[in-house]
Structure 1
Amino acid sequence: MENNATRYSVQLYIYDLSRGMARNLSPIMLGKQLDGIWHTAIVVYGDEFFFGGVGISSCSPGGTMLGPPDTVVELGETEVSDEIFMDYLSSLGESTYRGDRYRLFEHNCNTFTNEVAQFLTGNSIPAYITDLPSEVLATPFGQILRPILDSIHIAPPGGNVINGGRNN
Protein backbone atom coordinates (compact mmCIF):
# COMPACT_ATOMS: atom_id res chain seq x y z
CA MET A 1 0.00 0.00 0.00
CA GLU A 2 1.36 3.39 -0.94
CA ASN A 3 1.85 6.11 1.65
CA ASN A 4 0.66 9.45 0.31
CA ALA A 5 1.44 11.57 3.37
CA THR A 6 3.58 14.60 2.69
CA ARG A 7 7.02 14.32 4.27
CA TYR A 8 8.89 17.30 5.64
CA SER A 9 12.60 17.44 6.32
CA VAL A 10 13.56 18.28 9.93
CA GLN A 11 16.91 19.90 10.73
CA LEU A 12 18.68 20.90 13.89
CA TYR A 13 20.52 24.24 13.69
CA ILE A 14 23.40 24.38 16.16
CA TYR A 15 25.00 27.66 17.25
CA ASP A 16 28.03 28.14 19.50
CA LEU A 17 27.03 31.09 21.69
CA SER A 18 30.66 31.46 22.78
CA ARG A 19 31.83 31.93 19.16
CA GLY A 20 34.76 29.57 19.78
CA MET A 21 35.73 31.00 23.16
CA ALA A 22 34.48 27.93 25.08
CA ARG A 23 36.90 25.75 23.12
CA ASN A 24 39.84 27.98 24.08
CA LEU A 25 38.90 28.93 27.65
CA SER A 26 37.19 25.81 29.01
CA PRO A 27 40.41 23.85 29.69
CA ILE A 28 41.67 26.74 31.83
CA MET A 29 38.40 27.59 33.54
CA LEU A 30 36.76 24.17 33.90
CA GLY A 31 39.71 21.81 33.66
CA LYS A 32 38.04 20.07 30.71
CA GLN A 33 37.50 20.72 27.04
CA LEU A 34 34.10 22.00 25.91
CA ASP A 35 33.66 22.49 22.20
CA GLY A 36 31.01 25.18 22.55
CA ILE A 37 28.09 26.63 24.49
CA TRP A 38 25.23 25.33 22.38
CA HIS A 39 22.02 27.03 21.35
CA THR A 40 19.83 24.88 19.11
CA ALA A 41 16.73 25.37 17.01
CA ILE A 42 14.48 23.10 14.96
CA VAL A 43 14.05 24.00 11.30
CA VAL A 44 10.93 22.58 9.65
CA TYR A 45 8.19 23.87 7.28
CA GLY A 46 10.56 26.64 6.16
CA ASP A 47 10.90 28.21 9.63
CA GLU A 48 13.30 28.05 12.57
CA PHE A 49 11.74 27.37 16.00
CA PHE A 50 13.47 27.83 19.35
CA PHE A 51 12.85 28.31 23.06
CA GLY A 52 14.28 31.03 25.27
CA GLY A 53 13.52 33.48 28.01
CA VAL A 54 10.46 34.84 26.18
CA GLY A 55 8.99 31.42 25.34
CA ILE A 56 8.82 29.69 21.97
CA SER A 57 9.83 31.85 19.01
CA SER A 58 10.19 31.43 15.27
CA CYS A 59 12.01 33.18 12.45
CA SER A 60 13.20 32.45 8.96
CA PRO A 61 16.09 29.93 9.06
CA GLY A 62 19.24 31.67 10.30
CA GLY A 63 17.17 34.80 10.93
CA THR A 64 18.15 35.64 14.51
CA MET A 65 21.02 37.90 15.52
CA LEU A 66 23.15 34.73 15.73
CA GLY A 67 23.20 34.59 11.93
CA PRO A 68 23.78 31.30 10.12
CA PRO A 69 24.23 28.17 12.26
CA ASP A 70 27.67 26.71 12.97
CA THR A 71 26.36 23.20 12.19
CA VAL A 72 23.23 21.72 10.61
CA VAL A 73 22.19 18.18 11.56
CA GLU A 74 19.60 16.29 9.51
CA LEU A 75 17.21 14.75 12.06
CA GLY A 76 15.04 12.93 9.54
CA GLU A 77 11.59 13.47 8.10
CA THR A 78 8.15 13.95 9.58
CA GLU A 79 4.62 13.39 8.30
CA VAL A 80 3.21 15.73 10.94
CA SER A 81 1.43 18.58 9.15
CA ASP A 82 2.38 22.15 9.94
CA GLU A 83 -1.14 22.75 11.36
CA ILE A 84 -0.73 19.91 13.87
CA PHE A 85 2.79 21.11 14.65
CA MET A 86 1.63 24.68 15.37
CA ASP A 87 -1.13 23.35 17.67
CA TYR A 88 1.51 21.25 19.44
CA LEU A 89 3.81 24.28 19.82
CA SER A 90 0.94 26.40 21.15
CA SER A 91 0.17 23.84 23.83
CA LEU A 92 3.88 23.61 24.76
CA GLY A 93 4.06 27.42 24.86
CA GLU A 94 1.15 27.58 27.30
CA SER A 95 2.60 24.96 29.63
CA THR A 96 6.06 23.40 29.70
CA TYR A 97 7.76 26.02 27.53
CA ARG A 98 6.43 29.33 28.82
CA GLY A 99 9.16 31.96 29.06
CA ASP A 100 9.10 31.92 32.85
CA ARG A 101 9.87 28.19 32.85
CA TYR A 102 13.23 28.75 31.12
CA ARG A 103 16.27 27.52 33.12
CA LEU A 104 19.74 27.70 31.60
CA PHE A 105 20.75 24.25 32.89
CA GLU A 106 17.61 22.15 33.26
CA HIS A 107 15.05 23.54 30.84
CA ASN A 108 16.51 25.42 27.90
CA CYS A 109 16.55 25.67 24.11
CA ASN A 110 18.17 22.22 23.88
CA THR A 111 15.53 20.59 26.11
CA PHE A 112 12.96 22.06 23.72
CA THR A 113 14.64 20.98 20.48
CA ASN A 114 15.18 17.47 21.86
CA GLU A 115 11.49 17.13 22.75
CA VAL A 116 10.32 18.58 19.42
CA ALA A 117 12.77 16.41 17.45
CA GLN A 118 11.39 13.30 19.14
CA PHE A 119 7.81 14.43 18.49
CA LEU A 120 8.49 15.03 14.79
CA THR A 121 10.98 12.29 13.90
CA GLY A 122 11.42 9.93 16.86
CA ASN A 123 15.10 10.96 16.95
CA SER A 124 16.93 12.79 19.73
CA ILE A 125 19.38 15.63 19.24
CA PRO A 126 23.11 14.76 19.68
CA ALA A 127 24.07 13.76 23.23
CA TYR A 128 27.05 16.12 23.32
CA ILE A 129 24.50 18.96 23.36
CA THR A 130 22.08 17.55 25.94
CA ASP A 131 24.95 16.44 28.21
CA LEU A 132 26.69 19.82 28.31
CA PRO A 133 24.97 21.27 31.42
CA SER A 134 25.78 18.27 33.59
CA GLU A 135 29.37 18.31 32.30
CA VAL A 136 29.75 21.95 33.33
CA LEU A 137 28.07 21.41 36.70
CA ALA A 138 30.35 18.44 37.40
CA THR A 139 33.31 20.85 37.62
CA PRO A 140 34.17 22.91 40.71
CA PHE A 141 34.03 26.11 38.66
CA GLY A 142 30.62 25.10 37.28
CA GLN A 143 29.31 24.81 40.84
CA ILE A 144 30.67 28.26 41.69
CA LEU A 145 29.14 29.78 38.55
CA ARG A 146 25.80 28.04 38.89
CA PRO A 147 23.92 30.80 40.79
CA ILE A 148 25.03 33.35 38.19
CA LEU A 149 24.35 31.10 35.20
CA ASP A 150 20.94 30.09 36.54
CA SER A 151 19.83 33.72 36.34
CA ILE A 152 20.73 34.03 32.65
CA HIS A 153 17.89 33.78 30.13
CA ILE A 154 19.01 33.37 26.54
CA ALA A 155 16.64 34.57 23.86
CA PRO A 156 18.40 35.47 20.61
CA PRO A 157 16.90 38.68 19.22
CA GLY A 158 15.19 38.44 15.85
CA GLY A 159 12.47 35.86 16.46
CA ASN A 160 8.70 36.24 16.74
CA VAL A 161 7.18 34.90 19.94
CA ILE A 162 4.66 32.23 18.97
CA ASN A 163 2.44 31.90 22.01
CA GLY A 164 2.43 35.47 23.27
CA GLY A 165 1.83 33.71 26.58
CA ARG A 166 1.69 36.88 28.67
CA ASN A 167 -1.18 36.68 31.13
CA ASN A 168 -1.93 40.42 31.42
Structure 2
Amino acid sequence: MDFTTRHNIQLYIYDLSRGMARNLSPIMLGKQLDGIWHTAIVAYGEEFFFGGEGISSCPPGGTMLGPPDTVVDLGETEVTEDIFMEYLSSLGESTYRGDRYRLFEHNCNTFSNEVAQFLTGRPIPSYITDLPSEVLSTPFGQMLRPILDSIHIAPPGGHVINGGRNM
Protein backbone atom coordinates (compact mmCIF):
# COMPACT_ATOMS: atom_id res chain seq x y z
CA MET A 1 0.00 0.00 0.00
CA ASP A 2 1.32 3.46 -0.96
CA PHE A 3 0.77 6.17 1.65
CA THR A 4 2.89 8.77 -0.17
CA THR A 5 1.15 12.12 -0.42
CA ARG A 6 1.51 13.87 -3.75
CA HIS A 7 1.34 17.64 -4.09
CA ASN A 8 0.46 19.46 -7.29
CA ILE A 9 3.06 22.01 -8.44
CA GLN A 10 2.19 24.96 -10.66
CA LEU A 11 4.12 27.77 -12.31
CA TYR A 12 2.40 31.16 -12.26
CA ILE A 13 3.54 33.39 -15.12
CA TYR A 14 3.01 37.15 -15.12
CA ASP A 15 3.80 39.61 -17.92
CA LEU A 16 5.28 42.58 -16.06
CA SER A 17 4.87 44.71 -19.20
CA ARG A 18 1.09 44.07 -19.33
CA GLY A 19 1.32 43.45 -23.09
CA MET A 20 3.60 46.39 -23.90
CA ALA A 21 6.61 44.16 -24.64
CA ARG A 22 4.65 42.44 -27.41
CA ASN A 23 3.87 45.80 -29.02
CA LEU A 24 7.10 47.72 -28.39
CA SER A 25 9.83 45.06 -28.61
CA PRO A 26 9.96 44.94 -32.45
CA ILE A 27 10.55 48.72 -32.52
CA MET A 28 12.95 48.93 -29.56
CA LEU A 29 14.84 45.64 -29.84
CA GLY A 30 14.32 44.65 -33.46
CA LYS A 31 12.85 41.32 -32.31
CA GLN A 32 9.52 40.11 -30.97
CA LEU A 33 9.20 39.45 -27.23
CA ASP A 34 5.88 38.16 -25.99
CA GLY A 35 6.35 39.53 -22.47
CA ILE A 36 8.68 40.44 -19.62
CA TRP A 37 8.17 37.44 -17.40
CA HIS A 38 7.89 37.21 -13.63
CA THR A 39 7.31 33.67 -12.38
CA ALA A 40 6.43 32.02 -9.10
CA ILE A 41 6.02 28.44 -7.92
CA VAL A 42 2.68 27.51 -6.36
CA ALA A 43 2.92 24.58 -3.96
CA TYR A 44 1.32 23.57 -0.65
CA GLY A 45 -1.32 26.30 -1.05
CA GLU A 46 1.21 29.16 -1.27
CA GLU A 47 2.89 31.15 -4.04
CA PHE A 48 6.70 31.36 -3.68
CA PHE A 49 8.91 33.85 -5.55
CA PHE A 50 12.30 35.55 -5.44
CA GLY A 51 12.99 39.25 -5.70
CA GLY A 52 15.03 42.06 -4.20
CA GLU A 53 13.66 41.17 -0.76
CA GLY A 54 14.77 37.53 -1.01
CA ILE A 55 12.38 34.57 -1.11
CA SER A 56 8.78 35.54 -0.37
CA SER A 57 5.44 33.79 -0.24
CA CYS A 58 1.79 34.78 -0.35
CA PRO A 59 -1.58 33.20 -1.10
CA PRO A 60 -1.75 32.23 -4.81
CA GLY A 61 -2.32 35.39 -6.88
CA GLY A 62 -1.85 37.49 -3.73
CA THR A 63 0.73 40.01 -4.94
CA MET A 64 -0.08 43.39 -6.49
CA LEU A 65 0.24 41.64 -9.87
CA GLY A 66 -3.11 39.97 -9.22
CA PRO A 67 -3.99 36.74 -11.01
CA PRO A 68 -1.32 35.24 -13.28
CA ASP A 69 -1.47 35.62 -17.05
CA THR A 70 -0.73 31.91 -17.46
CA VAL A 71 -0.67 28.87 -15.18
CA VAL A 72 1.48 25.89 -16.17
CA ASP A 73 0.96 22.57 -14.41
CA LEU A 74 4.46 21.26 -13.66
CA GLY A 75 3.32 17.92 -12.26
CA GLU A 76 3.40 16.43 -8.80
CA THR A 77 5.95 16.04 -6.04
CA GLU A 78 6.31 13.71 -3.09
CA VAL A 79 8.50 16.25 -1.25
CA THR A 80 6.83 17.11 2.05
CA GLU A 81 6.02 20.70 2.95
CA ASP A 82 8.47 20.55 5.89
CA ILE A 83 11.35 19.43 3.66
CA PHE A 84 10.41 22.06 1.08
CA MET A 85 10.40 24.84 3.72
CA GLU A 86 13.83 23.69 4.99
CA TYR A 87 15.09 23.75 1.39
CA LEU A 88 13.71 27.29 0.86
CA SER A 89 15.20 28.46 4.14
CA SER A 90 18.65 27.23 3.14
CA LEU A 91 18.30 28.87 -0.31
CA GLY A 92 17.20 32.11 1.35
CA GLU A 93 20.33 32.17 3.50
CA SER A 94 22.69 31.50 0.58
CA THR A 95 21.97 31.56 -3.15
CA TYR A 96 18.69 33.49 -2.97
CA ARG A 97 19.37 36.26 -0.46
CA GLY A 98 17.88 39.60 -1.53
CA ASP A 99 21.30 41.13 -2.17
CA ARG A 100 22.07 38.36 -4.68
CA TYR A 101 19.18 39.36 -6.98
CA ARG A 102 20.27 40.31 -10.53
CA LEU A 103 17.64 41.16 -13.12
CA PHE A 104 19.39 39.24 -15.92
CA GLU A 105 21.40 36.44 -14.33
CA HIS A 106 19.75 35.62 -11.00
CA ASN A 107 16.07 36.52 -10.77
CA CYS A 108 12.59 35.17 -10.07
CA ASN A 109 12.80 32.91 -13.12
CA THR A 110 16.17 31.43 -12.04
CA PHE A 111 14.53 30.68 -8.68
CA SER A 112 11.36 29.19 -10.20
CA ASN A 113 13.46 26.99 -12.51
CA GLU A 114 15.62 25.67 -9.66
CA VAL A 115 12.65 25.02 -7.36
CA ALA A 116 10.65 23.35 -10.17
CA GLN A 117 13.55 20.96 -10.78
CA PHE A 118 13.90 20.26 -7.05
CA LEU A 119 10.19 19.44 -6.71
CA THR A 120 9.37 17.77 -10.04
CA GLY A 121 12.66 17.09 -11.83
CA ARG A 122 11.51 19.28 -14.71
CA PRO A 123 12.56 22.83 -15.70
CA ILE A 124 10.23 25.74 -16.43
CA PRO A 125 9.59 26.62 -20.13
CA SER A 126 12.74 27.77 -21.95
CA TYR A 127 11.04 30.83 -23.49
CA ILE A 128 11.10 32.26 -19.95
CA THR A 129 14.67 31.34 -19.01
CA ASP A 130 16.01 32.43 -22.44
CA LEU A 131 14.50 35.95 -22.22
CA PRO A 132 17.51 37.76 -20.64
CA SER A 133 19.94 36.51 -23.30
CA GLU A 134 17.46 37.48 -26.03
CA VAL A 135 17.29 41.04 -24.69
CA LEU A 136 21.04 41.29 -24.16
CA SER A 137 21.75 40.03 -27.68
CA THR A 138 20.38 43.32 -29.05
CA PRO A 139 22.24 46.67 -29.19
CA PHE A 140 19.41 48.37 -27.28
CA GLY A 141 19.51 45.63 -24.60
CA GLN A 142 23.25 46.20 -24.16
CA MET A 143 22.68 49.95 -23.92
CA LEU A 144 19.97 49.50 -21.25
CA ARG A 145 21.86 46.89 -19.27
CA PRO A 146 23.41 49.24 -16.65
CA ILE A 147 19.95 50.67 -15.88
CA LEU A 148 18.18 47.31 -15.91
CA ASP A 149 20.84 45.71 -13.69
CA SER A 150 19.98 48.17 -10.94
CA ILE A 151 16.29 47.19 -10.89
CA HIS A 152 15.09 44.88 -8.12
CA ILE A 153 11.62 43.45 -8.60
CA ALA A 154 9.65 42.24 -5.60
CA PRO A 155 5.90 42.51 -6.00
CA PRO A 156 4.34 43.70 -2.73
CA GLY A 157 1.88 41.39 -1.04
CA GLY A 158 4.08 38.59 0.21
CA HIS A 159 6.00 37.86 3.37
CA VAL A 160 9.73 37.20 3.26
CA ILE A 161 10.71 33.62 4.10
CA ASN A 162 14.26 34.31 5.31
CA GLY A 163 13.37 37.32 7.41
CA GLY A 164 14.94 39.67 4.87
CA ARG A 165 18.41 39.37 6.37
CA ASN A 166 21.19 40.56 4.11
CA MET A 167 24.38 38.94 5.33
Whether TM-score is above 0.5 comes out as yes
Q: Tell me, yes or no, if the aligned pair for 2:7 and 2:43 is still in contact at 8 Å.
A: yes
- Which residue is 2:42 aligned to? 43
Q: Tell me, yes or no, if the aligned pair for 1:16 and 1:38 is still in contact at 8 Å.
A: yes
- Which residue is 2:83 aligned to? 84
Where in structure 2 are there 5+ consecutive unaligned residues? none
Where in structure 1 are there 5+ consecutive unaligned residues? none
Inter-partner Cα distance in structure 2 for 1:146 and 1:167? 24
Runs (4+) off by over 2 Å: none
CA shift for structure 1 position 3: 2.8
Q: How does 1:49-88 map to 2 (within 5 A)?
A: 49-88=48-87
- Which residue is 1:146 aligned to? 145
In structure 1, give the amino acid aligned to 2:7. Y
Percent of paired sites with the same residue: 86
- Which residue is 2:154 aligned to? 155
- SS of residue in 1 equivalent to 2:41: strand
- SS of residue in 2 equivalent to 1:10: strand
CA shift for structure 1 position 4: 1.8
- Which residue is 2:97 aligned to? 98
- Which residue is 1:135 aligned to? 134
Inter-partner Cα distance in structure 1 for 2:19 and 2:44? 30
Inter-partner Cα distance in structure 1 for 2:103 and 2:89? 22
Q: Tell me, yes or no, if the aligned pair for 2:77 and 2:120 is still in contact at 8 Å.
A: yes
Inter-partner Cα distance in structure 1 for 2:25 and 2:84? 38
- Alignment CA distance shift 1:68-1:87 (3 Å): same
Note the aligned Cα RMSD (angstroms). Answer: 0.9
Inter-partner Cα distance in structure 1 for 2:153 and 2:14? 12
CA shift for structure 1 position 56: 0.1
Inter-partner Cα distance in structure 2 for 1:167 and 1:155? 15
CA shift for structure 1 position 167: 5.2
Inter-partner Cα distance in structure 1 for 2:117 and 2:164? 24
Inter-partner Cα distance in structure 2 for 1:37 and 1:98? 22
Alignment size in residue pairs: 167
Which digits, 9 at most, give the CA deviation of each residue in 1:52-105, with x for residues without a partner? Answer: 000000000000000000000000000000000000000000000000000000
Q: Tell me, yes or no, if the aligned pair for 2:97 and 2:166 is still in contact at 8 Å.
A: no
Which digits, 9 at most, give the CA deviation of each residue in 1:83-134, with x for residues without a partner? Answer: 0000000000000000000000000000000000000000100000000000
Inter-partner Cα distance in structure 2 for 1:17 and 1:165? 23
In structure 2, give the amino acid aligned to 1:57. S
